[in-house]
Protein backbone atom coordinates (compact mmCIF):
# COMPACT_ATOMS: atom_id res chain seq x y z
CA UNK A 1 0.00 0.00 0.00
CA UNK A 2 1.01 3.63 -0.23
CA UNK A 3 -0.51 6.91 0.86
CA UNK A 4 0.85 10.29 0.01
CA UNK A 5 -1.67 12.29 1.98
CA UNK A 6 -1.40 11.60 5.67
CA UNK A 7 -3.11 12.71 8.86
CA UNK A 8 -1.55 12.61 12.31
CA UNK A 9 -3.78 12.10 15.35
CA UNK A 10 -2.24 13.14 18.66
CA UNK A 11 -3.39 13.91 22.20
CA UNK A 12 -0.14 15.11 23.74
CA UNK A 13 3.09 16.94 23.14
CA UNK A 14 3.55 15.71 19.60
CA UNK A 15 7.26 14.90 19.55
CA UNK A 16 6.57 12.01 17.16
CA UNK A 17 4.51 14.35 14.98
CA UNK A 18 7.51 16.70 14.97
CA UNK A 19 9.87 13.90 13.90
CA UNK A 20 7.56 13.12 10.97
CA UNK A 21 7.14 16.79 9.99
CA UNK A 22 10.94 17.21 10.01
CA UNK A 23 11.44 14.27 7.66
CA UNK A 24 8.66 15.44 5.33
CA UNK A 25 10.04 18.99 5.22
CA UNK A 26 13.54 17.72 4.49
CA UNK A 27 12.16 15.82 1.51
CA UNK A 28 13.06 12.39 2.86
CA UNK A 29 9.40 11.35 3.00
CA UNK A 30 7.45 12.21 -0.13
CA UNK A 31 4.09 12.94 1.39
CA UNK A 32 1.97 15.75 2.72
CA UNK A 33 0.76 16.06 6.32
CA UNK A 34 -2.73 17.26 5.36
CA UNK A 35 -4.17 17.64 8.85
CA UNK A 36 -3.40 17.11 12.54
CA UNK A 37 -6.39 16.00 14.61
CA UNK A 38 -6.55 16.05 18.40
CA UNK A 39 -9.08 15.22 21.08
CA UNK A 40 -7.39 17.75 23.42
CA UNK A 41 -7.84 21.48 22.78
CA UNK A 42 -4.49 22.28 24.40
CA UNK A 43 -2.40 19.49 22.86
CA UNK A 44 1.17 20.54 22.15
CA UNK A 45 0.82 18.69 18.86
CA UNK A 46 -1.65 21.32 17.65
CA UNK A 47 0.82 24.14 18.33
CA UNK A 48 3.53 22.25 16.46
CA UNK A 49 1.19 21.76 13.48
CA UNK A 50 0.28 25.45 13.41
CA UNK A 51 3.96 26.41 13.46
CA UNK A 52 4.35 24.41 10.27
CA UNK A 53 1.14 25.77 8.66
CA UNK A 54 -0.55 22.38 8.85
CA UNK A 55 -4.36 22.54 9.27
CA UNK A 56 -5.64 21.37 12.66
CA UNK A 57 -8.95 19.96 13.81
CA UNK A 58 -10.07 19.39 17.39
CA UNK A 59 -12.70 16.73 17.99
CA UNK A 60 -13.53 16.41 21.68
CA UNK A 61 -15.19 13.64 23.63
CA UNK A 62 -17.55 16.27 25.06
CA UNK A 63 -18.92 16.96 21.57
CA UNK A 64 -19.13 13.28 20.60
CA UNK A 65 -19.57 11.20 23.77
CA UNK A 66 -20.50 8.00 21.90
CA UNK A 67 -17.34 6.33 20.59
CA UNK A 68 -18.79 5.37 17.18
CA UNK A 69 -20.12 8.88 16.64
CA UNK A 70 -16.74 10.30 17.57
CA UNK A 71 -15.06 8.01 15.07
CA UNK A 72 -17.59 8.85 12.36
CA UNK A 73 -16.69 12.52 12.80
CA UNK A 74 -12.99 11.67 12.53
CA UNK A 75 -13.72 9.71 9.33
CA UNK A 76 -15.63 12.68 7.92
CA UNK A 77 -12.68 14.99 8.59
CA UNK A 78 -10.14 12.49 7.22
CA UNK A 79 -12.12 12.00 4.00
CA UNK A 80 -12.55 15.75 3.67
CA UNK A 81 -8.77 16.13 3.55
CA UNK A 82 -8.37 13.14 1.20
CA UNK A 83 -6.32 11.25 3.77
CA UNK A 84 -4.85 7.91 2.66
CA UNK A 85 -2.74 7.04 5.71
CA UNK A 86 -3.68 7.73 9.33
CA UNK A 87 -0.79 8.05 11.77
CA UNK A 88 -1.62 7.74 15.48
CA UNK A 89 1.06 9.50 17.51
CA UNK A 90 0.16 9.41 21.16
CA UNK A 91 -3.58 9.50 20.42
CA UNK A 92 -5.07 8.41 23.72
CA UNK A 93 -8.30 6.91 22.42
CA UNK A 94 -9.12 3.38 21.38
CA UNK A 95 -10.57 3.32 17.88
CA UNK A 96 -13.83 1.51 17.18
CA UNK A 97 -14.27 -0.95 14.30
CA UNK A 98 -16.15 1.84 12.46
CA UNK A 99 -12.93 3.70 11.67
CA UNK A 100 -10.76 0.60 11.34
CA UNK A 101 -13.12 -0.72 8.65
CA UNK A 102 -13.18 2.68 6.91
CA UNK A 103 -9.34 2.66 6.70
CA UNK A 104 -8.32 -1.02 6.54
CA UNK A 105 -4.53 -1.40 7.02
CA UNK A 106 -4.26 2.35 6.61
CA UNK A 107 -3.97 3.27 10.28
CA UNK A 108 -0.65 2.91 12.09
CA UNK A 109 0.36 3.39 15.69
CA UNK A 110 3.53 3.65 17.75
CA UNK A 111 3.79 1.85 21.05
CA UNK A 112 6.63 2.17 23.59
CA UNK A 113 7.36 -1.54 24.07
CA UNK A 114 8.49 -4.49 22.03
CA UNK A 115 5.05 -5.85 21.15
CA UNK A 116 3.50 -8.32 21.72
CA UNK A 117 5.11 -7.81 25.14
CA UNK A 118 3.49 -5.14 27.27
CA UNK A 119 0.43 -3.92 25.36
CA UNK A 120 -1.78 -1.27 26.93
CA UNK A 121 -0.79 1.56 29.26
CA UNK A 122 2.15 2.28 31.63
CA UNK A 123 4.26 -0.15 29.68
CA UNK A 124 7.70 1.21 30.60
CA UNK A 125 6.85 0.61 34.25
CA UNK A 126 5.58 -2.86 33.38
CA UNK A 127 8.82 -3.63 31.52
CA UNK A 128 10.92 -2.52 34.51
CA UNK A 129 8.81 -4.58 36.91
CA UNK A 130 9.10 -7.66 34.70
CA UNK A 131 12.89 -7.31 34.71
CA UNK A 132 13.35 -7.53 30.95
CA UNK A 133 16.88 -6.58 29.85
CA UNK A 134 15.72 -5.03 26.58
CA UNK A 135 12.72 -2.93 25.74
CA UNK A 136 11.99 -0.66 22.81
CA UNK A 137 9.21 0.52 20.55
CA UNK A 138 6.99 -0.84 17.83
CA UNK A 139 5.17 0.68 14.87
CA UNK A 140 2.23 -1.49 13.88
CA UNK A 141 -0.95 -1.43 11.87
CA UNK A 142 -4.14 -1.02 13.85
CA UNK A 143 -6.58 -3.89 14.00
CA UNK A 144 -9.55 -4.40 16.31
CA UNK A 145 -7.41 -5.58 19.24
CA UNK A 146 -5.38 -3.40 21.61
CA UNK A 147 -1.80 -3.13 20.26
CA UNK A 148 -2.16 -6.40 18.33
CA UNK A 149 -1.92 -5.43 14.64
CA UNK A 150 0.81 -6.48 12.16
CA UNK A 151 4.26 -5.16 13.16
CA UNK A 152 6.08 -2.90 10.67
CA UNK A 153 9.26 -1.87 12.49
CA UNK A 154 10.78 -2.21 15.94
CA UNK A 155 13.76 -0.67 17.74
CA UNK A 156 15.45 -2.21 20.75
CA UNK A 157 17.00 -0.39 23.70
CA UNK A 158 18.74 -1.88 26.73
CA UNK A 159 17.31 -1.64 30.21
CA UNK A 160 20.04 -0.43 32.55
CA UNK A 161 20.70 -1.13 36.22
CA UNK A 162 18.49 1.11 38.37
CA UNK A 163 16.67 2.63 35.38
CA UNK A 164 13.71 4.81 36.29
CA UNK A 165 10.50 4.87 34.24
CA UNK A 166 11.52 8.33 33.07
CA UNK A 167 14.99 7.31 31.97
CA UNK A 168 13.72 4.27 30.11
CA UNK A 169 10.89 6.29 28.51
CA UNK A 170 13.34 8.91 27.22
CA UNK A 171 15.62 6.20 25.79
CA UNK A 172 12.64 4.60 24.03
CA UNK A 173 11.19 7.92 22.79
CA UNK A 174 14.48 8.73 21.07
CA UNK A 175 14.08 5.53 19.05
CA UNK A 176 10.40 6.29 18.37
CA UNK A 177 11.55 9.44 16.60
CA UNK A 178 13.76 7.33 14.32
CA UNK A 179 11.41 4.47 13.51
CA UNK A 180 8.09 6.29 13.11
CA UNK A 181 9.17 8.50 10.20
CA UNK A 182 10.87 5.45 8.69
CA UNK A 183 7.64 3.42 8.87
CA UNK A 184 5.74 6.26 7.20
CA UNK A 185 8.43 6.46 4.51
CA UNK A 186 8.28 2.71 3.80
CA UNK A 187 4.48 2.83 3.45
CA UNK A 188 4.46 5.98 1.33
CA UNK A 189 7.05 4.38 -0.97
CA UNK A 190 4.78 1.34 -1.37
CA UNK A 191 7.33 -1.04 0.14
CA UNK A 192 5.10 -2.58 2.80
CA UNK A 193 3.00 -5.68 2.15
CA UNK A 194 0.84 -7.36 4.78
CA UNK A 195 0.13 -11.09 4.78
CA UNK A 196 -2.03 -11.99 7.75
CA UNK A 197 -0.05 -10.97 10.82
CA UNK A 198 3.24 -10.67 8.93
CA UNK A 199 4.61 -7.59 7.24
CA UNK A 200 7.07 -7.84 4.35
CA UNK A 201 9.39 -4.92 3.67
CA UNK A 202 10.58 -4.82 0.07
CA UNK A 203 14.14 -3.74 -0.76
CA UNK A 204 15.47 -3.77 2.76
CA UNK A 205 18.68 -5.57 3.68
CA UNK A 206 18.90 -6.85 7.23
CA UNK A 207 22.15 -8.17 8.68
CA UNK A 208 21.15 -11.64 9.86
CA UNK A 209 24.33 -11.83 11.97
CA UNK A 210 23.50 -8.83 14.09
CA UNK A 211 22.74 -9.59 17.73
CA UNK A 212 22.67 -7.76 21.03
CA UNK A 213 23.18 -9.04 24.53
CA UNK A 214 22.64 -7.28 27.82
CA UNK A 215 24.99 -7.55 29.66
CA UNK A 216 27.48 -7.69 26.79
CA UNK A 217 29.15 -11.01 26.04
CA UNK A 218 32.82 -10.73 25.11
CA UNK A 219 34.11 -12.57 22.07
Closest C-alpha to 15, from 89, 85, 88: 89
Q: How far, in Å, CA of 136 to CA of 197, rounded?
A: 20
In angstroms, give the least distance from the CB of 203 to ligand GRF: 27
Under the binding rule (CB under 6 A), the answer on residue 110 touching ligand GRF is yes
Peptide bond before residue 33 is cis, with ω within 30 degrees of 0: no
* Count of Cβ atoms closer than 10 Å to residue 50 Cβ: 12
Per CB under 6 A, 158 contacts ligand GRF = no
Bridge partner residues of 193 (DSSP): 200
Does 111 participate in catalysis according to the annotation? Answer: yes
Segment near ligand GRF (CB under 6 A); pick from 100-108, 110-118, 144-152, 199-207: 110-118
Closer Cβ to ligand GRF, 47 or 200, answer by number: 47
Question: Minimum distance between the CB of residue 57 and ligand GRF, rounded to whole angstroms?
Answer: 17
107-111 and 85-88 strand pairing: parallel
10 binds ligand GRF (CB under 6 A): yes
71 or 176: CB nearest ligand GRF: 176
Residue of 1, 12, 56, 77 interacting with ligand GRF (CB under 6 A): 12
What length is written for the chain? 219
What is residue 185's three-state secondary structure?
A: helix
From 54-62, 97-105, 109-117, 199-207, span contacting ligand GRF (CB under 6 A): 109-117
- Determine which one of 52, 111, 140, 177 is catalytic: 111
Q: Does 136 bind ligand GRF (CB under 6 A)?
A: no
Interaction mask 66-105, ligand GRF, x per CB under 6 A: -----------------------xx---------------
- Among 107, 82, 87, CA closest to 97: 107
Q: What is the DSSP string of 37-62?
A: EES-TT-HHHHHHHHTT--EEE--TT
Q: Which of 166, 172, 174, 179 is nearest to 112 (CA)?
A: 172
Residues that bind ligand GRF (CB under 6 A): 10, 12-16, 89-90, 110-112, 173, 176
Residues annotated as catalytic are 111
Amino acid sequence: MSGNTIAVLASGGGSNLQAIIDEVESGRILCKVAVVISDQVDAGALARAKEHKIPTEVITKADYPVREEYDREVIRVLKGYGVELVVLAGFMRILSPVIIEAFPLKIINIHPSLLPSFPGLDVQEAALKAGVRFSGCTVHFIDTGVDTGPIIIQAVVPVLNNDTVRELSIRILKEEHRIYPEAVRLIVEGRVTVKGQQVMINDSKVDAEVSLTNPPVKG
